[in-house]
Structure 1
Amino acid sequence: MDRVVIFVLCFSLFIGGATHIFDNLYYGFLPYKFAPEWVNIYWTALAVIDIVAVYLLVKWRNAGLVLTLVIMLSDVAINSVAFYSLNVLSDSSALQLQTLFLGFCIGSSIWLWQSKSKANVVNVT
């Protein structure tokens, strides 16, 4: 069951990272011109940070869990500010899905951290 949960975390982070990579390739570096510069930099950095989290989840589970939680906590917080205070996001559905995923990350991280199975998802030698 651990592998299934880690797969869901990795898949979700990969999709998020791939979305930001696409935005950077298609629209250019720092593509979120409608947002304040600090938000634009954060969203752009997620292209790399999300992929690093996937790698860490596969190679060093606990480090990957910590980074995943940091990513999702900061992402929900920044996107909440962008939506509710800065009004740079017009649709709250992505924020609601990210908040739901944050809850999944918190719950599964507690469970995975305490899991007896500390084996990597992929046995890379």
Structure 2
Amino acid sequence: MLYGACVHLIELLLWGFRSRTWAPLWLNGFWNSLIVLDTLSGALLLKGRRSGLYVTCLTTFADLASNLYAVYGVRHSSLGAGAADVVVLLAFGLIVFATAPWPHRRLARARL
């Protein structure tokens, strides 16, 4: 997750808020918000918090949905047409969702 935050931060620094000019403004905004969401989930996971796993799963799901929308809905493309980053994200998502039950049992609950 921290790697993803760094990637989005570098894109923001190099190319600005609209790093993907072909994408709608709200989609660029969401991708930029991943700097915060990915950092939050990574920090919570490093602290051993179960909430980090929840944020990771929600963020991964939202990121997958936004990228699939970008490929199919905005660019009217397919996964095989230059969308290698989305294929990698799909593989990462499958790993996250398949392995989430294992750390869920071992991570600490938030103390209220």
**TM-score bin, normalised by smaller chain:** 0.7 to 0.9
Q: 2:75 matched to 1:75? A: no
- State the aligned residue count: 105
The aligned counterpart of 2:31 is 43
1:107 is matched by which residue type in structure 2?
A
Aligned to 2:53: 65
Rounded to whole Å, the distance in 1 between the matches of 2:76 and 2:50 is: 34
Gap regions ≥5 residues in structure 2: none
TM-score, scaled to structure 2: 0.83
CA distance in 2, matches of 1:17, 1:30: 16
% identical aligned pairs = 27
Contact 2:17 2:29 in 1 (8 A): no
Moved over 3 A (4+): none
The CA distance in 1 between the partners of 2:75 and 2:15, in whole Å, is 21
Matched, 1:95 2:86: yes
Instruction: Tell me, in whole angstroms, the C-alpha distance in 1 between the residues paired with 2:6 and 2:12.
Output: 10
CA contact (8 A) 1:31 1:44 kept: no
Partner of 2:97: 106
Confirm whether residue 54 of structure 1 aligns to residue 42 of structure 2. Answer: yes
8 Å CA contact 1:53–1:64 kept in 2: the answer is: yes
Q: Would you say 1:28 and 2:19 are equivalent positions?
A: no
Counterpart code for 1:28? G
Shift, 1:88, TM fit: 7.4
Which stretches in structure 1 are left out of the alignment for 5+ residues? 1-12, 120-125
Aligned mates of 1:31, 1:88 — CA distance in 2: 19
Separation (CA, whole Å) in 2 of partners of 1:70 and 1:112:
16
